[in-house]
Every structure is written in structure tokens, then in C-alpha cells.
Amino acid sequence: MTLINENAEKQQLLSKSEVKVLQAQITPHFLYNSLDAILALEEQGKHVQVKTTIYALSDYFRISLSHDKDWITVDKEIRHIKDYLTILKIRYGEMLDYSIDVSEDILNDMILKMILQPLVENAVYHGTKFVRRQGLVEIVGRKIEDAIIFTIKDNGIGMTESRLAQVQNELAKGIHTDFKEGYGLYNVNKRMLLYYNRKTQLTITSNYQTGIILTLRLPKI
């Protein structure tokens, strides 16, 4: 093995290890919040919602913690998102609604596991968090030529022009300067670059007070 090949292999192993760390950073706080919500529902005597939440939470972590699988089908990734949003919908009631529209012709395609969930989480918590109206998250998935395109849209407060420019610049450079806001975007962008190299694209558009649209372009595997 040449030195170049050896270094390339080491870099690949390092990249995959970093992906594992990035994936692990996604789930803990969601588990804690969900368990608190289940306890609150039980105390209120809402046994049907408790059962639904437990089933959704179990399926959610069954997918999240499948450490031997870095790639899953679009169908399973969407199921993962549905579990996530089911739990949030029970927690927040009429304050949150969502829609999912994914073409059947991409359901069996393979994508990097948990590539969409952080974007949906970002839409819920940073997109709709500060609106007085009902929060709405729309998820659309389509095949366009040789790529799979996902859009995640919210009806939140959006971003100012200066903040949008900052986030766009950080995504382009693969950096992140604000840990509390936009970490999900950085997480997804970093994992995309590690696994797909430069064959992917994550873009963000926004108008202040009208929401954010995230667009994720992935190559068909």
C-alpha cells in the first residue's frame, strides 16, 4: 500500500468516525423531552396519546440507533420523520401541523441515515418557534433527472437579509459559529460533504416574517 493510499484510507476512516459523532449529537435532548412529555400525558390520563407516543418513540430510536447501517431507504427515512413529527404533534397539539409529500419513485432509493430529521427539527424549533399562528412544516421529495430533491418549508419568522447571508456563507464554507441556532444545518451539511463529497447541495432561502425553505439535493445511489 502506497503512502498516498494509506493516508486516503485513514482519512476515510476518520471521516466515517466523525459522521458517527455527528449522528450521536442529534438524539439525546429529543429523548429527554419525549420522556417528559410521556410522563405529563400519563399524569393527565391521556392513555391513548401515551401509547401512540411510545410506539412512535420506539420506532424512531430503532432507526436512529441502527449503528450498523449508515444508509437507509427514503421510505425508512420518511418513516423516521413521521415518528418524530407524531411525537411533536402530540406534545404541541394545534400549535403544530405538518404535511409530507414524497414521490413513490424515490421511496426505495438509498440515502444517508438521518439526513432529513435535523432539517425538520430546525424548521420546527427555529422556524415556527416564535410565531403566534399555527406552525406549519411542509416536506416534499421528488426525483429530478439524476438527483433526489427534498424541500423543507416552514411558515415561521424567517431570517433577515444579513442573517441569511451569514448562514449561506457558513454553509458554503462548511463552518458554524452559532451553536444554538442552525446547528442542524451544519450537522447535515458536514455529513453530506463527508459521505457524498461535493456531489450534494444544501441551500437556504428566506423572507423575513414569512418562513424558510431548505432545499437538499442528493445524487441517486
Question: Which pTM value belongs to this model?
Answer: 0.81
The band of 152, judged by pLDDT with boundaries at 50, 70 and 90, is very high
What pLDDT is stored for residue 4 in this prediction?
A: 44
State yes or no: pLDDT of 25 exceeds 70. Answer: no
Mean local confidence (pLDDT), 50-63: 91
What pLDDT is stored for residue 5 in this prediction?
A: 53
Per the listing, cell 425538520 goes with 120
Higher pLDDT, 89 or 186: 89
Mean local confidence (pLDDT), 80-107: 93
> Total domain count for the chain?
1
Are 135 and 96 a contacting pair, CB within 8 Å?
yes
State yes or no: pLDDT of 10 exceeds 50. Answer: no
State yes or no: pLDDT of 139 exceeds 60. Answer: yes
Structural domain span for residue 80: 3-219
What pLDDT is stored for residue 124 in this prediction?
A: 87
- Give the burial class of 2: count Cβ atoms within 10 A of its Cβ; 0-12 exposed, 13-18 middle, 19 or more buried: exposed
Are 167 and 173 a contacting pair, CB within 8 Å?
no
Q: Share the mean pLDDT of the chain.
A: 82
Provide the β-strand partners of residue 138.
Answer: 99, 153
Mean local confidence (pLDDT), 51-75: 87
What's 71's domain CATH number?
3.30.565.10
